[in-house]
Amino acid sequence: MAADGSGAWFPYPAQAADEGSPLLFCLHHGGGGASAFRDWQRLLGPGVEIVPVQLPGREGRLAEPAERSITALTERLTGPLLERAGERPYAFFGHSMGALLAYDLSHALSAAGKPPAHLAVSGYVPPHARPATSVHTLSEEAFLAHVTGLEGTPAAILENPTLLELVLPVLRDDFAACETYAYVERGPLDVPIAVFAGESDPSAPAALTARWADLTAAGASVDVFPGGHFYLQDRLPELLQALRTRLALFPVASQDGGGTP
Protein backbone atom coordinates (compact mmCIF):
# COMPACT_ATOMS: atom_id res chain seq x y z
CA MET A 1 0.00 0.00 0.00
CA ALA A 2 1.29 3.46 -0.86
CA ALA A 3 2.02 5.93 1.90
CA ASP A 4 -0.28 8.85 1.17
CA GLY A 5 -0.16 12.31 2.70
CA SER A 6 -3.57 13.87 3.23
CA GLY A 7 -2.57 17.02 1.33
CA ALA A 8 -2.48 15.19 -2.00
CA TRP A 9 -6.03 13.93 -1.55
CA PHE A 10 -7.48 17.28 -0.45
CA PRO A 11 -5.87 19.95 -2.67
CA TYR A 12 -8.05 22.93 -1.73
CA PRO A 13 -7.80 24.89 1.52
CA ALA A 14 -10.78 24.94 3.87
CA GLN A 15 -13.28 27.59 2.77
CA ALA A 16 -16.19 27.28 5.20
CA ALA A 17 -16.57 30.18 7.63
CA ASP A 18 -17.16 27.88 10.61
CA GLU A 19 -14.29 25.50 11.32
CA GLY A 20 -16.69 23.22 13.18
CA SER A 21 -19.14 22.92 10.29
CA PRO A 22 -19.92 19.51 8.80
CA LEU A 23 -17.91 18.28 5.83
CA LEU A 24 -19.08 17.07 2.45
CA PHE A 25 -16.39 14.96 0.80
CA CYS A 26 -16.93 15.11 -2.98
CA LEU A 27 -15.67 12.28 -5.19
CA HIS A 28 -15.39 12.94 -8.91
CA HIS A 29 -16.40 10.90 -11.94
CA GLY A 30 -14.09 8.73 -13.99
CA GLY A 31 -11.63 10.83 -15.95
CA GLY A 32 -12.47 13.87 -13.85
CA GLY A 33 -10.75 15.62 -10.98
CA ALA A 34 -11.35 17.63 -7.84
CA SER A 35 -11.89 20.78 -9.92
CA ALA A 36 -15.33 19.42 -10.85
CA PHE A 37 -16.45 20.77 -7.46
CA ARG A 38 -14.61 24.09 -7.58
CA ASP A 39 -17.82 26.17 -7.49
CA TRP A 40 -19.73 24.20 -4.88
CA GLN A 41 -18.51 26.08 -1.79
CA ARG A 42 -19.37 29.45 -3.34
CA LEU A 43 -22.81 28.26 -4.40
CA LEU A 44 -23.68 26.59 -1.11
CA GLY A 45 -22.22 29.26 1.14
CA PRO A 46 -21.17 28.77 4.76
CA GLY A 47 -22.57 26.14 7.07
CA VAL A 48 -21.01 23.15 5.34
CA GLU A 49 -17.44 22.69 4.17
CA ILE A 50 -16.99 21.24 0.69
CA VAL A 51 -13.92 18.99 0.50
CA PRO A 52 -13.17 17.86 -3.08
CA VAL A 53 -11.09 14.67 -3.17
CA GLN A 54 -8.31 14.39 -5.76
CA LEU A 55 -7.57 10.87 -6.96
CA PRO A 56 -4.11 10.05 -8.35
CA GLY A 57 -3.36 10.33 -12.05
CA ARG A 58 -4.98 13.70 -12.81
CA GLU A 59 -4.72 17.45 -12.30
CA GLY A 60 -2.26 18.12 -9.49
CA ARG A 61 -1.47 14.39 -9.25
CA LEU A 62 -0.85 13.86 -12.95
CA ALA A 63 2.65 12.47 -12.32
CA GLU A 64 1.21 9.59 -10.29
CA PRO A 65 -0.28 6.48 -11.90
CA ALA A 66 -4.06 6.20 -11.72
CA GLU A 67 -5.34 3.49 -9.40
CA ARG A 68 -7.12 0.65 -11.25
CA SER A 69 -8.89 -0.71 -8.18
CA ILE A 70 -11.74 0.76 -6.13
CA THR A 71 -10.75 -1.48 -3.24
CA ALA A 72 -7.17 -0.19 -3.33
CA LEU A 73 -8.40 3.41 -3.46
CA THR A 74 -10.56 2.74 -0.40
CA GLU A 75 -7.59 1.28 1.46
CA ARG A 76 -5.44 4.29 0.60
CA LEU A 77 -8.11 6.90 1.33
CA THR A 78 -9.57 5.64 4.61
CA GLY A 79 -6.76 6.96 6.80
CA PRO A 80 -6.57 10.43 5.21
CA LEU A 81 -10.38 10.76 5.42
CA LEU A 82 -10.41 9.85 9.11
CA GLU A 83 -7.64 12.38 9.73
CA ARG A 84 -9.37 15.13 7.70
CA ALA A 85 -12.77 14.59 9.33
CA GLY A 86 -11.49 14.42 12.89
CA GLU A 87 -14.46 14.75 15.24
CA ARG A 88 -16.62 16.61 12.74
CA PRO A 89 -19.70 15.04 11.12
CA TYR A 90 -19.37 14.41 7.40
CA ALA A 91 -21.16 13.05 4.35
CA PHE A 92 -20.14 11.78 0.92
CA PHE A 93 -21.23 12.89 -2.54
CA GLY A 94 -19.98 10.84 -5.45
CA HIS A 95 -20.84 11.00 -9.13
CA SER A 96 -20.44 7.95 -11.40
CA MET A 97 -17.16 6.27 -10.36
CA GLY A 98 -17.19 8.57 -7.34
CA ALA A 99 -20.51 7.03 -6.24
CA LEU A 100 -19.04 3.53 -6.18
CA LEU A 101 -15.97 4.73 -4.30
CA ALA A 102 -18.14 6.65 -1.80
CA TYR A 103 -20.17 3.49 -1.15
CA ASP A 104 -17.08 1.37 -0.54
CA LEU A 105 -15.58 4.06 1.68
CA SER A 106 -18.81 4.26 3.67
CA HIS A 107 -18.41 0.61 4.60
CA ALA A 108 -14.73 1.05 5.47
CA LEU A 109 -15.29 4.11 7.65
CA SER A 110 -18.30 2.51 9.31
CA ALA A 111 -16.08 -0.44 10.22
CA ALA A 112 -13.54 2.04 11.60
CA GLY A 113 -16.19 3.51 13.90
CA LYS A 114 -16.63 6.79 11.99
CA PRO A 115 -19.55 6.30 9.57
CA PRO A 116 -20.78 9.14 7.36
CA ALA A 117 -23.98 10.87 8.36
CA HIS A 118 -25.25 10.50 4.79
CA LEU A 119 -24.21 8.97 1.47
CA ALA A 120 -25.23 10.77 -1.73
CA VAL A 121 -24.71 8.86 -4.97
CA SER A 122 -25.22 10.19 -8.49
CA GLY A 123 -25.29 8.68 -11.97
CA TYR A 124 -24.41 5.11 -10.98
CA VAL A 125 -26.17 1.78 -10.64
CA PRO A 126 -25.54 0.12 -7.24
CA PRO A 127 -22.85 -2.57 -7.43
CA HIS A 128 -25.15 -5.49 -6.62
CA ALA A 129 -27.46 -4.58 -9.53
CA ARG A 130 -24.94 -3.34 -12.09
CA PRO A 131 -24.68 -5.39 -15.30
CA ALA A 132 -21.21 -6.64 -16.17
CA THR A 133 -19.46 -4.43 -18.72
CA SER A 134 -15.97 -4.33 -20.21
CA VAL A 135 -15.61 -0.83 -21.66
CA HIS A 136 -12.01 -0.66 -20.44
CA THR A 137 -11.04 -3.47 -22.84
CA LEU A 138 -12.45 -1.80 -25.97
CA SER A 139 -10.26 -0.77 -28.87
CA GLU A 140 -9.06 2.85 -28.95
CA GLU A 141 -11.70 3.78 -31.53
CA ALA A 142 -14.58 2.08 -29.71
CA PHE A 143 -13.45 3.40 -26.34
CA LEU A 144 -13.31 6.97 -27.65
CA ALA A 145 -16.78 6.57 -29.18
CA HIS A 146 -18.16 5.39 -25.84
CA VAL A 147 -16.58 8.27 -23.95
CA THR A 148 -17.85 10.78 -26.51
CA GLY A 149 -21.35 9.36 -26.15
CA LEU A 150 -21.41 10.12 -22.44
CA GLU A 151 -21.17 13.85 -23.33
CA GLY A 152 -19.00 14.72 -20.36
CA THR A 153 -15.65 15.31 -22.04
CA PRO A 154 -15.19 18.86 -23.37
CA ALA A 155 -14.92 19.23 -27.14
CA ALA A 156 -11.60 21.03 -26.63
CA ILE A 157 -10.16 17.75 -25.36
CA LEU A 158 -11.88 15.47 -27.86
CA GLU A 159 -10.56 17.57 -30.75
CA ASN A 160 -7.00 17.80 -29.44
CA PRO A 161 -4.88 14.66 -30.01
CA THR A 162 -2.28 15.77 -27.47
CA LEU A 163 -4.86 16.22 -24.71
CA LEU A 164 -6.61 12.99 -25.66
CA GLU A 165 -3.34 11.14 -25.25
CA LEU A 166 -3.22 12.37 -21.65
CA VAL A 167 -6.88 11.88 -20.76
CA LEU A 168 -7.86 8.56 -22.37
CA PRO A 169 -5.44 6.32 -20.41
CA VAL A 170 -6.74 7.73 -17.13
CA LEU A 171 -10.31 7.22 -18.27
CA ARG A 172 -9.54 3.64 -19.23
CA ASP A 173 -7.97 3.04 -15.80
CA ASP A 174 -11.04 4.48 -14.12
CA PHE A 175 -13.35 2.26 -16.14
CA ALA A 176 -11.18 -0.70 -15.18
CA ALA A 177 -11.45 0.23 -11.49
CA CYS A 178 -15.25 0.23 -11.70
CA GLU A 179 -15.70 -2.77 -13.97
CA THR A 180 -13.41 -5.04 -11.95
CA TYR A 181 -15.01 -4.12 -8.62
CA ALA A 182 -16.26 -7.29 -6.94
CA TYR A 183 -19.41 -6.68 -4.92
CA VAL A 184 -19.30 -8.43 -1.53
CA GLU A 185 -22.40 -8.89 0.60
CA ARG A 186 -21.64 -7.08 3.85
CA GLY A 187 -25.10 -6.32 5.09
CA PRO A 188 -26.84 -2.95 4.67
CA LEU A 189 -25.22 0.30 5.71
CA ASP A 190 -26.73 2.07 8.70
CA VAL A 191 -26.44 5.27 6.67
CA PRO A 192 -29.24 6.98 4.69
CA ILE A 193 -28.62 7.12 0.94
CA ALA A 194 -29.69 9.97 -1.33
CA VAL A 195 -29.79 8.92 -4.99
CA PHE A 196 -29.56 11.38 -7.89
CA ALA A 197 -29.85 10.53 -11.58
CA GLY A 198 -30.39 11.93 -15.06
CA GLU A 199 -33.65 10.74 -16.59
CA SER A 200 -32.02 9.91 -19.95
CA ASP A 201 -28.74 8.46 -18.62
CA PRO A 202 -28.27 5.15 -20.51
CA SER A 203 -25.62 3.97 -18.06
CA ALA A 204 -27.78 4.49 -14.97
CA PRO A 205 -31.50 3.94 -15.72
CA ALA A 206 -33.87 5.03 -12.97
CA ALA A 207 -35.22 1.53 -12.31
CA LEU A 208 -31.74 0.31 -11.42
CA THR A 209 -30.48 3.39 -9.57
CA ALA A 210 -33.48 3.08 -7.25
CA ARG A 211 -32.02 -0.20 -6.02
CA TRP A 212 -29.51 1.69 -3.89
CA ALA A 213 -32.30 1.38 -1.32
CA ASP A 214 -31.37 -2.34 -1.02
CA LEU A 215 -28.01 -1.37 0.47
CA THR A 216 -29.12 0.68 3.46
CA ALA A 217 -31.12 0.03 6.61
CA ALA A 218 -31.54 3.77 7.16
CA GLY A 219 -33.75 4.71 4.21
CA ALA A 220 -33.16 6.08 0.72
CA SER A 221 -34.50 8.89 -1.45
CA VAL A 222 -34.38 9.24 -5.24
CA ASP A 223 -34.31 12.47 -7.25
CA VAL A 224 -34.31 12.38 -11.06
CA PHE A 225 -33.32 15.40 -13.15
CA PRO A 226 -33.67 16.17 -16.86
CA GLY A 227 -30.53 15.21 -18.74
CA GLY A 228 -28.12 12.37 -19.31
CA HIS A 229 -25.10 11.00 -17.48
CA PHE A 230 -23.73 14.49 -16.86
CA TYR A 231 -27.07 16.08 -16.00
CA LEU A 232 -25.39 17.92 -13.11
CA GLN A 233 -23.44 20.14 -15.49
CA ASP A 234 -26.71 21.81 -16.55
CA ARG A 235 -28.73 21.19 -13.38
CA LEU A 236 -26.24 22.08 -10.68
CA PRO A 237 -28.46 24.62 -8.85
CA GLU A 238 -31.30 22.07 -8.69
CA LEU A 239 -28.95 19.33 -7.55
CA LEU A 240 -27.47 21.46 -4.77
CA GLN A 241 -30.94 22.44 -3.58
CA ALA A 242 -31.90 18.76 -3.49
CA LEU A 243 -28.75 18.02 -1.50
CA ARG A 244 -29.80 20.64 1.04
CA THR A 245 -33.16 18.94 1.34
CA ARG A 246 -31.93 15.36 1.49
CA LEU A 247 -28.82 15.66 3.64
CA ALA A 248 -29.53 16.63 7.23
CA LEU A 249 -26.00 18.08 7.41
CA PHE A 250 -26.95 21.01 5.21
CA PRO A 251 -28.44 24.23 6.60
CA VAL A 252 -31.73 25.54 5.30
CA ALA A 253 -31.24 28.41 2.85
CA SER A 254 -32.04 31.80 4.38
CA GLN A 255 -35.00 33.86 3.26
CA ASP A 256 -32.75 36.52 1.74
CA GLY A 257 -31.28 33.98 -0.64
CA GLY A 258 -27.92 33.69 1.08
CA GLY A 259 -26.11 30.58 -0.06
CA THR A 260 -28.66 29.82 -2.76
CA PRO A 261 -27.10 29.01 -6.13
Name beta bridge partners: 121: 94, 195
Q: Is 96 a catalytic residue?
A: yes
**First CA to last CA distance, the chain:** 40
Biggest CA pair distance of the chain: 53
Of 99, 91, 122, 106, the closest CA to residue 23 belongs to: 91
CA 171/CA 29 separation, integer angstroms: 10
CA 216/CA 224 separation, integer angstroms: 19
Catalytic choice (6, 21, 96, 254): 96
CA 175/CA 136 separation, integer angstroms: 5
Q: How many residues does the chain have?
A: 261
SS (H, E, C) 94-128: EECHHHHHHHHHHHHHHHCCCCCCEEEEECCCCCC
Instruction: Judge residue 224's burial from the number of C-beta atoms within 10 Å of its C-beta, 0-12 exposed, 13-18 middle, 19 or more buried.
Output: middle
SS (H, E, C) 122-134: ECCCCCCCCCCCC
Catalytic positions are: 96
